[in-house]
């Protein structure tokens, strides 16, 4: 019987609420997680390497039993208004976990009331704490673009947006910079959503001729921009010189496509991780990718079976728990899975310089 719910041995990917916070972290806003407790400290402790050294505004609403039972949204609204008056963020984002979801908290209504009272733009991002960060990143980015993107901007030849860049998938800012550099060397001008960029730079999102989706988190904003503004998108992780060129060539065709689908679904090398990452590496290694579903994560039974059948596994070190078989295990830490535990071991795996074969050799 299929059972994605039970995990006897393995960890869990981070949730949508962390995705929202991570995606909007550097843009000068204030993000409020509507939840009793825990989601905020989980995000700041495990998923956010920038927390200690910056002052980005991320808070938990502290929802309690009576407030939830009575549906008293005025508590949240009052607190957010007061904090906004003190802290003067550029914008406010409301997201939340499972209790607001099941009591049908009206994100849009609360956002309107807060905006009316503070004069500060408020983005309602109706997360539910049940889905993965991929969903949260996408919802947050779409909401931000919808509200702040300059739709009147004229296209700039050679401009591309790199979508889906957060520390959850890329950890170090060097990874964001390596991608930027790689595409600049290919003659593009680049905007990275959303690391090491300013609010104003990202407002010019509609100047792009093409979007590059480097993680699944960037897919839904890319689809949104394709549907609403006709900006095509290319999926693929610029990991190594060949992939950079392949993506660059695809971008120049001006068509929507994916350049990370050359993997072997029966390959003996198993790459586990974020979807675009896993597909890209599996394509390079003639292996098979395995990635978590946004709603259901990874089915542990399927996961363990595939690990047992593989000759070689490339995955976050936490996947070693409960594994059967004697496949060679190449650790490739992923912040979205193991959080900060192996953060120092996360390589710069984007850009022209990265070579997956060499990475594997060095870890054998």
Partner 1 sequence: MNGYQRIADMTYAYNADIGLSYSSPARGVWNIVHIGTLVPQSHQIFVCPTSCLRGVVLTTAELGAMDQMSTITVGEDNILEGDMEEALYNGVVKILSRLKERPRMVMVFTSCIHHFLAVNYQRVYKILRREYPDIDFIDCYMDPIMRRTAPPDPTLRRQITRVLRPLPKDETSVNIIGNEFRTGEHSDLYMYLVNNGMTVRDITRCDTYDEYLQMGSSIANITFHKPAAKAGKDLEARLGQKWLPVRTTYDYDVIDADMKRVCEALGIPAPAEKTIQEERRKTEELAEEVRTLLGDTPLSVDYTAVDEPLMFTLWLHEHGFRVESCFIENFTEDKAVFEALQKKLPDLKVYSSLNWNMRTVDRGHEGMITAVGQKAAYFNDTNHFVDVVESGDMYGYRGIRRMLELIREAYRNEKDMRSLVQVKGWGCHCG
Per-position DSSP letters for 230-261, written without gaps between them: ---EEE---BSHHHHHHHHHHHHHTS-EES--
Q: Which stretch binds partner 1 (CB under 8 A): 162-170, 211-219, 239-247, 315-323?
A: 315-323
Closest distance of CB 275 from partner 1, Å: 17
Asked if residue 64 binds partner 1 (CB under 8 A), the reply is yes
Beta strands 269-272 and 288-290 are: parallel
Applying CB under 8 A, which part among 76-84, 112-120, 165-173, 227-235 lies near partner 1?
76-84
Residue the block writes with tokens 């702040």 = 148
C-alpha to C-alpha distance for 79 and 277, rounded to whole angstroms: 40
Give the one residue of 23, 24, 27, 80 binding partner 1; rule: CB under 8 A: 80
Other C-beta atoms lying within 10 Å of the C-beta of residue 42: 17
**CA 198, CA 26: separation in Å to the nearest integer?**
8
In the complex, what is the shortest distance from the CB of residue 265 to partner 1, in angstroms, rounded to a whole number? 26
Segment 82-141, which members bind partner 1 (CB under 8 A)?
Answer: 82-83, 86-87, 97-99, 102-103, 128-132
In DSSP terms, which residues pair with 257 in a beta bridge? 234
Residues in 4-23 at the binding interface with partner 1, rule: CB under 8 A: 4-9, 11-18
Task: Report phi then psi at 15, rounded to 5.
Answer: -95, 170
User: What are the φ and ψ backbone dihedral angles of 166, each rounded to 5 degrees?
Assistant: -140, 165
75 binds partner 1 (CB under 8 A): yes
> Which of residues 220 and 338 has its CB atom nearest to partner 1 in the complex?
338
Q: For residues 234 and 211, give the distance between their C-alpha atoms in angstroms, rounded to a whole number.
A: 6
For residues 211 and 193, the answer to whether their CB atoms sit within 8 Å is no
| Nearest distance in Å: CB 235, partner 1 | 24
Binding mask 254-273 for partner 1 (x = CB under 8 A): --------------------
As a whole number of angstroms, the distance between CA 332 and CA 280 comes to: 14
**27 lines the binding site for partner 1 (CB under 8 A):** no
Does residue 295 touch partner 1 according to CB under 8 A? yes
Q: Is the peptide bond before 194 cis (omega within 30 degrees of 0)?
A: yes
User: Shortest gap between Cβ of 66 and partner 1 (angstroms)?
Assistant: 7
Residue 131: CB minimum distance to partner 1, A: 7
Taking CB under 8 A as the criterion, the residue among 52, 157, 265, 326 binding partner 1 is 52
Coil, helix or strand for 298? coil
Sites for partner 1 among residues 322-341 (CB under 8 A): 322, 338-339, 341
Count residues near partner 1 (CB under 8 A).
Answer: 69
Alpha-carbon distance of 249 to 272, in angstroms, equals 27
Question: In the stretch 194-233, what mask flags binding to partner 1 with x, by CB under 8 A?
Answer: ----------------------------------------
| CA atoms of 180 and 161, how far apart (whole Å) | 10
For partner 1, which is the closer residue by CB, 64 or 242?
Answer: 64
DSSP 3: -
The minimum distance between CB 88 and partner 1, in angstroms, equals 10
- The answer to whether 287 touches 279, Cβ cutoff 8 Å, is no
* Closest to partner 1 by CB, 309 or 320: 320
Q: Which residues contact 317 (CB under 8 A, 6 or more apart)?
A: 331, 333, 338, 341, 342
| Residues 57 and 44 sit within 8 Å (Cβ to Cβ) | no
For partner 1, give the closer residue by CB, 128 or 197: 128
CB of 75 to partner 1, least distance (A): 6
**Residue pair 34/95 in contact by the 8 Å Cβ criterion:** yes
74 is a site residue for partner 1 (CB under 8 A): no
Interface residues toward partner 1, by CB under 8 A: 3-9, 11-18, 32, 35-42, 44-47, 51-52, 55, 57, 59-66, 68, 75-76, 78-80, 82-83, 86-87, 97-99, 102-103, 128-132, 295-297, 318, 321-322, 338-339, 341
């Amino acid at each position: 019987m299929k059972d994605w719910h039970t995990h006897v041995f393995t960890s869990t990917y981070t949730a949508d609420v962390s995705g929202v916070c991570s995606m909007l972290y550097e843009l000068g806003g204030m993000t409020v997680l509507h939840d009793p407790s825990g989601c905020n400290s989980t995000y700041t402790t495990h998923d956010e390497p920038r927390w200690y050294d910056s002052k980005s505004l991320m808070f938990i609403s502290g929802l309690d039993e009576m407030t939830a039972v009575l549906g008293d949204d005025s508590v949240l609204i009052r607190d957010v208004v007061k904090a906004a008056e003190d802290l003067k963020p550029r914008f406010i984002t409301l997201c939340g976990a499972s209790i607001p979801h099941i009591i049908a908290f009206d994100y849009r209504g609360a956002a309107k009331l807060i905006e009316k009272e503070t004069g500060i733009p408020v983005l309602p991002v109706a997360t539910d704490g049940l889905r993965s960060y991929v969903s949260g990143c996408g919802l947050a980015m779409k909401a931000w673009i919808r509200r702040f993107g300059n739709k009147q901007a004229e296209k700039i030849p050679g401009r591309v947006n790199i979508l889906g860049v957060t520390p959850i998938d890329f950890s170090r800012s060097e990874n964001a910079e390596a991608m930027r550099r790689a595409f600049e060397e290919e003659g593009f001008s680049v905007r990275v959503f959303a690391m090491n960029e300013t609010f104003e730079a990202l407002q010019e999102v509609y100047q792009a001729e093409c979007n590059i989706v480097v993680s699944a988190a960037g897919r839904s904003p890319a689809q949104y921009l394709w549907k609403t503004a006709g900006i095509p998108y290319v999926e693929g992780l610029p990991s190594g010189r060949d992939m950079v060129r392949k993506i660059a060539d695809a971008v120049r065709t001006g068509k929507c496509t994916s350049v990370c689908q050359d993997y072997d679904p029966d390959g003996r090398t198993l790459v586990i991780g974020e979807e675009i990452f896993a597909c890209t590496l599996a394509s390079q290694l003639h292996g098979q990718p395995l990635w978590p579903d946004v709603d259901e994560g990874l089915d542990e039974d399927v996961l363990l079976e595939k690990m047992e059948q593989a000759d070689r596994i490339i995955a976050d070190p936490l996947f070693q728990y409960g594994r059967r078989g004697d496949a060679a295990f190449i650790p490739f830490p992923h912040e979205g899975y193991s959080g900060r535990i192996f953060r120092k071991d996360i390589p710069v795996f984007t850009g022209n310089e990265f070579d997956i074969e060499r990475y594997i050799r060095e870890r054998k």
